[in-house]
Structure formats: structure tokens, C-alpha cells
Amino acid sequence: MKVEDGGIYHIYNEGNNLQLLYADREDYLLFLKEYGRYVRSFD
């Protein structure tokens, strides 16, 4: 996904029918790491 300056993005924390998006803690931690990397790229 290409992230653009000034874009508005929605980050989902659960799937359809309240299904979990992350299979385990490591998946969730990887998401947080990647999210942080993208957020810092806009500073």
C-alpha cells in the first residue's frame, strides 16, 4: 500500500464478525513495529 502525505487512513483492530486479525502476540507486535515505522516516516 502506498501511503501519501495528507491521506486519511483507518487502521482496523478486528475483522469481520469480530474475528481477531492477529493469530498470536508476535503477529500483533510485528504490526505495531511496522505501524511505528510508517508513522515515523511522516515526522
Supply angle C-alpha 9, 33, 10, rounded to 5.
Answer: 15
Domain spans, the chain: 1-43
With bands split at pLDDT 50, 70 and 90, how would you rate the model's confidence at 30?
very high
Q: Name the DSSP letter for residue 39.
A: H
Per the structure block, which three cell numbers stand in for 27?
Answer: 503477529
Percentage of the chain exceeding pLDDT 90: 16
Residues 35 and 11 sit within 8 Å (Cβ to Cβ): yes
Q: What is the pTM of this model?
A: 0.59
Instruction: Cell 475483522: give the residue.
Output: 15
